[in-house]
């Protein structure tokens, strides 16, 4: 594992012109920008047309708050980017560093997005075959074609396969994979039981297979994860533990909270 960790640190994704996008989705910027524009227009109208100073002051405050919001989310996007703060790369490094995988067989990446975690896994374990699945909604602008192009550019296209999939019901038989990973995916799936999602992910893992699932595990979304981890142990899973990834990936819990991922935890173990 130590050798794998050193090898992963030597991997530098995105150095051949790949497009990995950003974790901060475009619609967030569109909405914030539209509201800022509207507030600015209403501010001008309040002072110059309606001549209602109090109303104009309200819209000035709203515009300033929206401007601050736009600046904040722009900073977050920059911090996540491979070419910026590198937080995206550090979280992928953390996930694979805690995966007790020997690199033999098939690895599944649930919610692969633009493919960076899948590609890093393929670069880390040269004998592994990697399958990345994603629903590829419109929010982030990711696609299967983007994943395949990135994998080809990084030189691992022959060992990476990407396909459309739904984490609620994985299109694979029981015990199909030797390792399963996921990174900040399930909290984005609206209306789902998070612990049920985890069990569905573990369903496709072979006996003896390993898993590392990292997410923003807010108690109101995930419930009691310590109790869930114990349930897995009672079911026969081994080495099950929860790891606080805020310091490892972000430097501190406070910084993680500033980047909207203050409850980052990773569930790891062996089936």
At residue 12 the predicted structure's pLDDT band, cuts being 50, 70 and 90, is confident
Q: Residue 140 in contact with residue 25, Cβ under 8 Å?
A: yes
At residue 7 the predicted structure's pLDDT band, cuts being 50, 70 and 90, is low
Task: Please compute the mean of the pLDDT values over residues 44-67 and round it to a whole number.
Answer: 96
The helix (run of H) or strand (run of E) holding residue 133 is: strand 129-134
Per-residue model confidence as pLDDT tens digits over 131-161: 999 999 887 889 999 999 999 999 999 999 9
Q: Convert 38-60 to b/e letters by CB count within 10 Å (16 or more is b).
A: ebbebbeebbeeeeeeeebeebb
Whole-Å CA distances, 89 to 80, 130, 250: 8, 18, 11
Q: What is the pLDDT of residue 37?
A: 97
Q: Residue 47 in contact with residue 59, Cβ under 8 Å?
A: no
Q: What is the pLDDT of residue 157?
A: 97
Whole-Å CA distances, 133 to 4, 115, 182: 24, 9, 10
Q: What is the pLDDT of residue 84?
A: 84
Running DSSP on this structure, what letter comes out for residue 169? Answer: B
Q: Is 130 helix (H, G, I), strand (E, B) or coil?
A: strand
Q: Is 115 helix (H, G, I), strand (E, B) or coil?
A: coil
pLDDT reading at 41 higher than 90: yes
Residue owning tokens 């599944």: 108
In the chain the first and final C-alpha atoms are separated, in Å, by 18
Residue owning tokens 């080495």: 239
Q: What is the pLDDT of residue 146?
A: 96
Residue owning tokens 């994860």: 225
pLDDT reading at 1 higher than 60: no
Greater confidence (222 vs 7) lies with: 222
Q: What is the pLDDT of residue 168?
A: 95
Q: What is the pLDDT of residue 2?
A: 45
Greater confidence (3 vs 264) lies with: 264
Q: Residue 125 in contact with residue 101, Cβ under 8 Å?
A: yes
Task: Please compute the mean of the pLDDT values over residues 63-80 and round it to a whole number.
Answer: 95
Q: What is the pLDDT of residue 176?
A: 98
Q: What is the pLDDT of residue 8?
A: 64
Per-residue model confidence as pLDDT tens digits over 196-236: 999 999 999 999 999 999 999 999 999 999 999 999 999 99
Measured CA to CA, the distance from residue 13 to residue 202 in angstroms comes to: 28
Sign of the alpha-carbon dihedral angle for 17, 4, 243, 156? positive
Task: Please compute the mean of the pLDDT values over residues 85-109 and round it to a whole number.
Answer: 95
175, exposed or middle or buried, with CB in 10 Å at 0-12, 13-18, 19+? middle
Q: Residue 221 in contact with residue 133, Cβ under 8 Å?
A: no
Measured CA to CA, the distance from residue 151 to residue 123 in angstroms comes to: 10
């Amino acid at each position: 594992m130590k050798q794998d960790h050193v090898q992963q640190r030597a991997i530098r994704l995105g150095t051949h012109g790949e497009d990995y996008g950003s974790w901060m989705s475009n619609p967030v910027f569109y909405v914030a920008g539209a509201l800022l524009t509207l507030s600015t227009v209403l501010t001008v109208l309040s002072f110059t047309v309606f001549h209602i100073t109090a109303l104009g002051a309200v819209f000035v405050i709203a515009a300033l708050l929206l401007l601050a919001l736009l600046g904040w989310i722009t900073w977050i996007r920059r911090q996540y980017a491979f070419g910026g703060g590198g937080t995206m790369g550090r979280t992928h490094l953390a996930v694979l560093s805690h995966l007790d995988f020997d690199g033999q067989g098939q690895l599944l990446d649930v919610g692969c997005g633009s493919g960076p975690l899948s590609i890093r896994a393929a670069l880390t374990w040269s004998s592994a075959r990697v399958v990345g699945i994603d629903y590829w909604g419109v929010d982030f602008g990711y696609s299967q074609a983007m994943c395949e192009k990135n994998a080809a550019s990084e030189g691992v296209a022959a060992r990476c396969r990407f396909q459309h999939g739904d984490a609620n019901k994985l299109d694979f038989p029981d015990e199909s994979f030797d390792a399963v990973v996921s990174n900040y995916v399930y909290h984005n799936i609206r209306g789902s039981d998070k612990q049920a999602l985890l069990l569905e992910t573990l369903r496709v893992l072979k006996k003896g297979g390993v898993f590392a699932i990292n997410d923003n595990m807010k108690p109101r979304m995930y419930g009691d994860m310590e109790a869930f981890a114990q349930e897995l142990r009672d079911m026969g899973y081994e080495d099950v533990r929860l790891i606080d990834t805020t310091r490892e990936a972000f430097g501190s819990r406070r910084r993680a909270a500033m980047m909207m991922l203050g409850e980052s935890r990773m569930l790891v173990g062996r089936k």
